[in-house]
Structure 1
Amino acid sequence: MKKILNGIVEFHTTDYVSQKERYESLRDHQQPRYLFITCSDSRVVPDLITKSQPGELFILRNIANIVPPYEKAEEYLSSSSAIEYAVEELNVRHIIICGHSDCGGCKLMLPGKAHTGDMGLTRKWLELAGDVKADIHRFAEERPGLDSHALSWHTEQSNVLQQMKNLLTYPSVAERYNSGELGVHGWHYIIQSGDIYQYNQESRRFELRN
């Protein structure tokens, strides 16, 4: 805890002071342009990898950056309400779903990796990724001998694509997306290299963002 508490002091005496006007301008309202949906993984730091400032990103984090389909919203209010609030109240202009390499949640979707011990809540949450798990099992069966790194890579990207589809089950998201008012983007962040692959709707591939 000492490191964290010392960090509070350092923030207030350095970072806060250098951006005091920005923080004061955010006192009574926020107007972020982006909803950033990503994993709870401690190695993924949205503000850092996007070089964003306070007030620019509205961030939703959960295990494996999952978006509950709209029809199940009543069961998963935390994530679903954040999406609703960002779109309908904050009027964000872009939604980014950012998966990442070495994702623990995605590993549990791999063939033979369904065991989560006593983590009943985690197991229940990952039921939302059933379509991804089915896709990965088919993918693995069609490519016997595929190495674990390639399979994990495909799983993480397949998961991002499924969550993009799930987003469009929300009426307010679909309406604004179809009218061109809202962009939906899929990213795959590689921790060890800092690279980000962005999904290209036209080529239907994740392409390195330079």
Structure 2
Amino acid sequence: MQTIKRLIDGNEKFKREYFPYFEKELKDSVNLGQRPEVLFIGCSDSRVTPDLMLNNQPGDMFILRNVGNFVPPYKMDEDFHGTAAAIEFAVSVLNVKNIIVCGHSHCGACKALYDDIGNDPTMIHVKVWLKLGEKAKEKTLLNNKFTNDEEKYRATERNSIRNQLDNLLTYPEVKKRVEKNELLIHGWYYDIETGNIDFYDKNEDNFKPLKEFLK
């Protein structure tokens, strides 16, 4: 119960010290609707805090989080697709101008690609979901120059971002808007230990410090 008490106390502090700064904007958004310009696709990892690490205010980003910040390829069926539904809503309804796929260091999903989950029935959905990281694993294993597993995991995390960006372009509306320069997609890599973010430079197929993005 101590954990829940801390959350309750946190909400009281938020209402008392922070909410007043955003009250007008939030009430306006109720009347006018939300108008974020960014869809942020991040990992569910508890150490990844999009609003904190980007110093955002309420309404700035439409945030989608899942295990591994994976983007399933587009599939034309009527099954339940939570990630796909969020992408469609952000693009076709909210008309976001940017999509950021943000991976991070020490990602449990990328590490799990190298573990044998087996046939544990309590992990069946995780096992299926991790298939979305297999291409990143395969690309990583083509490089045999790693001196230890941690180097391999860091490379897998970055390769996964590359792969998720490719998957984003399988969504017809995303692809159409990118080609018309109405939408930009970005790959970011967040280092949990330092707070630094690198961006993926597709032209050079490399990750660079985020502060260099506009240079």
TM-score by length of 1: 0.92
TM-score by length of 2: 0.90
1:129-144 alignment runs, 5 A limit? 129-139=133-143, 142-143=144-145
* Match for residue 85 of structure 2 among 66, 71, 81: 81
Structure 1's 168 and 73: CA in aligned 2 closer, same or farther, altered over 3 A?
farther
1:146-157 alignment runs, 5 A limit? 146-157=147-158
Contact 2:71/2:164, CA 8 A, preserved across alignment: yes
Following the alignment from structure 1 to structure 2, what is the Cα–Cα distance between the partners of residues 149 and 45? 23
Deviation at 1:80, TM superposition (A): 0.4
Letter in 2 for 1:162: N
* Match for residue 10 of structure 1 among 4, 7, 13: 13
1:183 aligns with 2:173: no
Following the alignment from structure 2 to structure 1, what is the Cα–Cα distance between the partners of residues 95 and 165? 18
Deviation at 1:115, TM superposition (A): 2.2
Residue 130 of structure 2 aligns to a residue in which SS? helix
Between stretches 125-134 and 199-208, larger displacement belongs to 125-134
Letter in 2 for 1:182: L
Following the alignment from structure 1 to structure 2, what is the Cα–Cα distance between the partners of residues 83 and 114? 31
Letter in 1 for 2:162: L
Structure 1, gaps ≥5 residues long: none
Q: Deviations over 1:99-139 (max 9, x none)?
A: 000000000123xx232654111111111222122223333
- What RMSD over aligned residues (CA atoms) do the two structures have, in Å? 1.5
Structure 1's 191 and 72: CA in aligned 2 closer, same or farther, altered over 3 A?
farther
Structure 1's 30 and 83: CA in aligned 2 closer, same or farther, altered over 3 A?
same
1:95-114 alignment runs, 5 A limit? 95-110=99-114, 113-114=115-116
Letter in 1 for 2:7: I
Residue 142 of structure 2 aligns to a residue in which SS? helix
Following the alignment from structure 1 to structure 2, what is the Cα–Cα distance between the partners of residues 76 and 162? 22
1:71 aligns with 2:75: yes
Of all paired residues, the percent bearing the same amino acid is 37
Structure 2, gaps ≥5 residues long: none
